[in-house]
Structure 1
Amino acid sequence: MLMEFFFPVFSDEQPYVICFDLRKELIFSLDTSAEVNNHHIGSNYNVLCDILRSLLANFLKTSNEDLSSASVSKSSVKVVDISWAYENNAVDAALYVMRHMETFEGDTSVEWNSGLMNATDHHIAILRMRYCSTIVMWEKNKYNEEVLKDASTTYGLELAENETRFDRLLIG
């Protein structure tokens, strides 16, 4: 049984993540906007968390996970203090959301290492390439062969018949 559920939220202001940790009966808000990390949290958080709590509890009930459903219903919201908060970075906001879902493990008693604290433009570019290559190379992506052929043509690379390494296209 899954014990953590991540919901990426794309609001008008800033995308962020809501994470339900059923073991701890907590709902974590992972939001890098400086406003949230200065604790100027609006009522929208509570409304959204109530909606997600209800939807997840209903889903778990219909999946015969009654104990988990009860845990969701009792969960309280905790805003995680994120030391790498930023004010206006709309370009990388979705990348931060993906990285938060990838690295957050629900333990706020120790320093959470998302790899974003001292990230340089080079580190961010590497993350972008990694996420893009994962999306393109995913076996369920019905366009991955087409994208690889276009990229191969564009960059003048000849791939072996069974070669599917996207990083070869990125690195050359």
Structure 2
Amino acid sequence: MCKIGWMLTKRKSTHEERVKAFKTNLLSVLNKDESKMGLREYDAVLFPIFEKNHFYVIAFDMRETGVYVFDNMVKTVYGVRTSKNYANKSTPYKVIDIFGRYLTLVGHPKVKEIMRTWSPTRVELPWKTSSNVTDCAVFAMRHMECYRGGDHVECDFSMEEDRKVEQINILRMKYIDRMLLSEVNNVRDGLLADAREWESKKPKQVMVKKVRFKEG
């Protein structure tokens, strides 16, 4: 996940400044492995976007050179607007601009094809919501988890609203568990110690719930 917020909103930044910052963030995402900076071994590159208090995902298919927007909301918070002036582009086009310039810098073998064909396409998701404004981050993480390229993603979301809410709650617990127990979480050991202390003071309870939900 590259932290590119100011690159999308700062009107007076230059192309060079944005690409330099993108490169620095990407190196951090790749655990400072410079051998991967050319992105030649990746079939897809995903950007989780937080805009106007809403999460959605911009996916770059590096094999078929497509750009796809996955958003759980019926009504979008972003536009799809390009311009010769970077500041006037909508967010998907700004991300394309920065990423395309970076790929040119590192000499990606498909950069000419990519820059010629890339334009964002919003994917029509059967499970889109019109009133759920609180679970967008969970939807976004599920979209990233299940994306395998192309203009579709198989997430196994139910069309029944009650069942979908249950699935979202299950995913929320799953993602929280992964984040808290991740090796990159600097406070993981302290949290585990607190959890063990809390558990030792509570009566032991066992709760089992059978849930059918496809793993990403």
Instruction: Establish whether TM, by shorter chain, passes 0.5.
Output: yes
- Per-residue deviation at 1:147? 0.7
* Whole-Å separation in 1 of the counterparts to 2:172 and 2:60: 26
1:114 maps to 155
1:73 to 115, 129, 134: 115
- What is the letter of the counterpart of residue 199 of structure 2? Y
Q: So what's the TM-score if we normalise by structure 1? A: 0.76
Q: How many residues align?
A: 156
Q: 1:35 is paired with a residue of what secondary structure?
A: coil
- What is the letter of the counterpart of residue 30 of structure 1? F
1:91 maps to 134
- Per-residue deviation at 1:43? 3.9
Which residues of structure 2 form unaligned runs of 5+? 1-40, 83-88, 209-216
* Whole-Å separation in 2 of the counterparts to 1:133 and 1:157: 21
Q: So what's the TM-score if we normalise by structure 2? A: 0.62
Q: 1:7 is paired with a residue of what secondary structure?
A: strand
* Whole-Å separation in 1 of the counterparts to 2:201 and 2:189: 14
* Whole-Å separation in 1 of the counterparts to 2:183 and 2:207: 22
1:20 maps to 60
Q: Is the Cα contact below 8 Å between 1:32 and 1:85 reproduced in 2?
A: yes
- Per-residue deviation at 1:11? 1.3
- Per-residue deviation at 1:42? 3.0
Q: 1:72 is paired with a residue of what secondary structure?
A: helix
1:82 maps to 125
- Per-residue deviation at 1:107? 3.3
Indicate the percent of aligned positions where both proteins have the same amino acid: 23
* Whole-Å separation in 2 of the counterparts to 1:123 and 1:141: 25
2:98 maps to 55
Alignment of 1:122-141 (within 5 A): 122-141=166-185
